[in-house]
Chains A and B, each alone.
Chain A
Amino acid sequence: MISDTDFQIEGAEFVSAACAGLRPGVASASEVQEIQAQCASEQALCLSCEDGFAVVDLRPQGNAVEMFVWIAVAFKRGFYAKQDAALDLIGRDLGASQVAFQSRRKGWGRRLGPEWRRRGSDEFVRQLR
Chain B
Amino acid sequence: MSKGGNQGIQETPQQRAQVDHAVNLMADYKARWLPVQKQLAAHIEQMGQPGSQARTAAAGRASTDTAIQFNNAQGGVEKSLSNSGAGPGSAKFNLGVTGTAEDKAKSTGMGAVMSDQHIDDAYTAGLSALMATGRGERVQVGNSLADQATASSRQAEADAEASLAQREGAGQLAGQFAGYGLQQAFKTPTSQGPGQGAIGGTGMKPSANAWGNP
Interface of A toward B, CB cutoff 8 Å: 1-3, 6-9, 42-45, 48-51, 57-60, 65, 75, 93-96
Contacts and interface: CB of A to CB of B under 8 A. Distances in A.
A7 B133 contact: yes
Contact of B37 (A9, A93, A94): A9
13 contacts: A1-B36, A1-B40, A3-B33, A8-B37, A9-B37, A44-B26, A45-B26, A45-B30, A50-B133, A50-B134, A50-B137, A60-B18, A95-B29
Which 6 pairs between the two chains have the least Cβ-Cβ distance? A50-B134, A60-B18, A58-B22, A50-B132, A2-B33, A95-B25
User: For chain B, which range describes its interface: under 10, 10 to 19, 20 to 34, or 35 or more residues?
Assistant: 20 to 34
A94 B137 contact: no
Given A1-B36, A48-B132, 7 more contacts: A1-B37, A1-B133, A6-B134, A9-B37, A42-B23, A48-B133, A60-B15
A3 B37 CA distance: 11
Nearest to A75: B132
B135 interface: yes
A120 to B, nearest CB: 16
Interface of B: 15, 18-19, 21-23, 25-27, 29-30, 33-34, 36-37, 40, 132-138
